[in-house]
Amino acid sequence: MPYSPEHKEETRKRIVVSARRLFNRRGFTEVSIDEIMGEIGLTRGGFYNHFSNKDELFAEALLDMTNNPPDETYDGVKMDFCAPPEVLSQGIINSYLSRSHFDDVEGGCPMIALPSDVARGGEPVKRAYREALQALIGVFQASQKSGSAEARARAISIATLCIGGMVLARAVDDDQFSAEIRNAVQNKALETGGWTAKVPAAAE
């Protein structure tokens, strides 16, 4: 008996979630299709019922967080996507650079873990990364209440601070220095948006 469309869609979602966790943990090139399918108790053959190749899956995994954002921040605060853009943007900044997001390597934003793999990837992967990045920039730009080039530049700067700051924070081997990076970047991102910095520079 063939599986229902609902079952097929659920299986596809499980593959994407498995891939995102593994890609975040180990990178695109180090993860095999067999490992992705094995994580959810399926075989390699079933993969091709959903994706033509690993690049296609990688692209969908990159967009998964954009299309299905968490309904609360990493600090457990409810994320209200209907809130005014300036409120939503500050919530994203504070959540993105939080200690709990820092610790959640597998479940965190793939834009942090995967930029080097994307740079070496094919067109579908680069397009997916661009779309995810532009979605984040779009939220920050809306908070600036202006379509000017200056507002666009501020939005790009905030997104770059969030992603780049977390990349560096995870790359160093000193926990205190890592916290210092996150907090300094969080303050600068808030200030760039025109909001008040809330985190002491040397705080955890």
**pLDDT tens column, 42-60:** 999 999 999 999 999 988 9
CATH assignment of 5-52? 1.10.10.60
Span(s) in the chain for CATH 1.10.10.60: 5-52
**pLDDT tens column, 70-126:** 766 677 667 788 889 999 999 999 999 999 999 999 888 889 988 888 888 888 889
- Asked if 73 contacts 98 with a C-beta cutoff of 8 angstroms, the reply is yes
pTM > 0.75: yes or no: yes
Distance of alpha carbon 175 from alpha carbon 179, whole angstroms: 6
DSSP 39: T
Exposed/middle/buried for 106, CB within 10 Å: 0-12, 13-18, 19+? middle
CATH topology of domain 85-192: Tetracycline Repressor; domain 2 (1.10.357)
Span(s) in the chain for CATH 1.10.357.10: 85-192
Q: What's the Cα-to-Cα distance from 172 to each of 24, 103, 167, 175, 198, rounded to whole Å?
A: 17, 13, 9, 8, 24
